[in-house]
Amino acid sequence: MSDFRFHVAIIMDGNGRWATRRGLPRVAGHKAGANAVRRTIEAAPGLGISVLTLYAFSEDNWSRPPREVSALMKLLGRYLVQETDRCIANGVRLQAIGRRDRLPAPLAGMLGEAERRTADGRRLLLRLAIDYSSRHAILDAARKASDNFTEDRFSSLIGPDVDLLIRTSGEQRLSDFLLWECAYAEMVFTPRLWPDFNSDDLAQAVAEFQRRERRFGAISATTDLRTA
């Protein structure tokens, strides 16, 4: 098992396209995507991932057809019911980020209960971004930090820096996801649709990340200064 500990964030994209290509309703893609979530969570600790943030439902997703939104809310609730005990058994702590005031009351209650029950998990911090907008999160953190506005204070309010950002389905944009936290993140974009994403895909992305040299604006010790 790897002892390398880092933060991976994933934009889980392509559920609808996966279903459409198979002649299935879009909700079938979301259900298949839930299986990919389980595979990813199970594989993450063994790859040295200590924090995993998954983009489950964006603020913009409210503009989707009401029937699809309702199905997504029910699917999220079902996932929490089915997976909370598994998270406890595997040392996974669940934390939701994003707004809760617009969520159905039963789902908001289930989120709080799952957070409470998994609070002792130390093997993996699983952050689910639900009704999430990075711009909103930044504004909210700025308001809270107004009396002591330093970069460290702001970062403590908004969340941990991302080391590796993965987006599935071939799209290459952040889509209002962890904009502050991804300031120095390495990015891997894969054409794989999210329901097909598996532990091998995650391992390949981590291997790609580990091959990269993260210089944070500096230069490599082996770089010739005449060509840097």
The confidence score (pLDDT) of residue 1 equals 40
Facing residues of 92 across strands?
A: 124
Distance CA 58, CA 102 (A): 12
Question: Range with the lowest mean pLDDT among 22-36, 50-64, 81-95, 144-158?
Answer: 144-158
The confidence score (pLDDT) of residue 218 equals 63
Q: What is the pLDDT of residues 115-166, one digit of tens each?
A: 999 999 999 999 999 999 999 999 999 888 877 788 888 888 999 999 999 9
Q: What percent of the chain has pLDDT over 90?
A: 84
Domains of the chain: 6-211 (3.40.1180.10)
2: confidence class by pLDDT, cuts 50, 70, 90: low
Indicate if the pLDDT at residue 35 is higher than 80: yes
- Tell me how far CA of residue 33 lies from CA of 7, 131, 135, 159, 168, in angstroms: 21, 18, 26, 25, 11
Rounded to 5, what percent of the chain is helix, strand, coil? 45, 15, 35
Q: What is the pLDDT of residues 44-75, one digit of tens each?
A: 999 999 999 999 999 999 999 999 999 999 99
3-state secondary structure of 130: strand
State in Å, rounded, how far the first CA of the chain is from the last one.
36
Catalytic annotation, residues: 13, 61
